[in-house]
Amino acid sequence: MKKLLLLFGMCLSLSFYITAQENNVKGKIIKDFGQPFSVESPDIKTDIKTEHKVIFDVNKSSEDNSTINKYIVTAARFLNMHAASGMKPEQLHVAITIHGGAWKDAMTNEAYKEKYGVDNPNLELINQLTEAGVDVILCGQTAGARGLNKDNVNSQVKFALSAMTALLQYQNNGYRFLTF
């Protein structure tokens, strides 16, 4: 009986997984990360005629150094879900500040591997985001405290005096602040 219940539970779990995957939409802007789920008949309609200017604040990372930072993935999902809703890439302006506990995610693969013994799981995500026009910004104060510089940080990442400065300046330029 226990084996039958276990088999039933496994089949049920697999069906939930398959159903969830069917609702997943392939990313239109960031191909390999941040695949959104389709939402049938949302009550709050997406205004696809406007522009979205957002800056995400990322100050946490994964505890497992071989796991991608889900907070950076959020920016990819933001782009992909709005593109899937009918917005054009030129309507979407995204920036990310990286500071605090997320500092390591901006490192080059070589520096990350030397420090943690594994490849930087965020490297390709950050590269795809910047190729899509996302400004990925490292807090200069965090960089200074952690010994980061342009030699050991992904060349796609921009340095700012501080995350606070970047957040303020982007908001002064019409970006909305989002944190997760």
Q: What is the pLDDT of residue 179?
A: 80
Is residue 117, in this structure, part of any structural domain at all? yes
Please classify residue 76 by burial: count the beta carbons closer than 10 Å to its beta carbon, then call 0-12 exposed, 13-18 middle and 19+ buried.
buried
Taking residues 62-77, report their average pLDDT: 97
Is residue 67, in this structure, part of any structural domain at all? yes
Is residue 49, in this structure, part of any structural domain at all? yes
Please report which residue ranges of 23-158 form alpha helices under DSSP H. Answer: 70-84, 109-116, 123-131, 140-146
**What angle (nearest 5°) sits at the alpha carbon of residue 93, between those of residues 120 and 59?**
40
**Count: domains in the chain:** 1
* Confidence grade of residue 2 (pLDDT, cut at 50, 70, 90): low
Domain hosting residue 63, numbered range: 26-179
**To the nearest whole number, what is the mean pLDDT of the chain?**
89
Q: In what order do the strands lie in the sheet with 158-160?
A: 158-160, 135-139, 92-98, 52-58, 176-179
3-state secondary structure of 36: coil
Contact 91, 53 (CB under 8 A): no
Is residue 45, in this structure, part of any structural domain at all? yes
Taking residues 15-29, report their average pLDDT: 58
Is residue 18, in this structure, part of any structural domain at all? no
Taking residues 110-120, report their average pLDDT: 98
* Pairing assessment for the beta strands 135-139 and 92-98 based on DSSP bridges: parallel
Q: What is the pLDDT of residue 180?
A: 72
CA–CA gap between residue 110 and residue 139 (Å, rounded) = 20
Of all residues in the chain, the percent with pLDDT exceeding 90 is: 81
pTM to 2 decimals?
0.85
Taking residues 53-58, report their average pLDDT: 98
Is residue 1, in this structure, part of any structural domain at all? no
The 8-class DSSP code of residue 157 comes to P
Taking residues 155-180, report their average pLDDT: 96
CA–CA gap between residue 1 and residue 6 (Å, rounded) = 9
Is residue 4, in this structure, part of any structural domain at all? no
CATH number for the domain harbouring residue 116:
3.40.1260.10
pLDDT in tens, 75-96: 999 999 999 999 999 999 999 9
Contact 19, 54 (CB under 8 A): no
Is residue 120, in this structure, part of any structural domain at all? yes
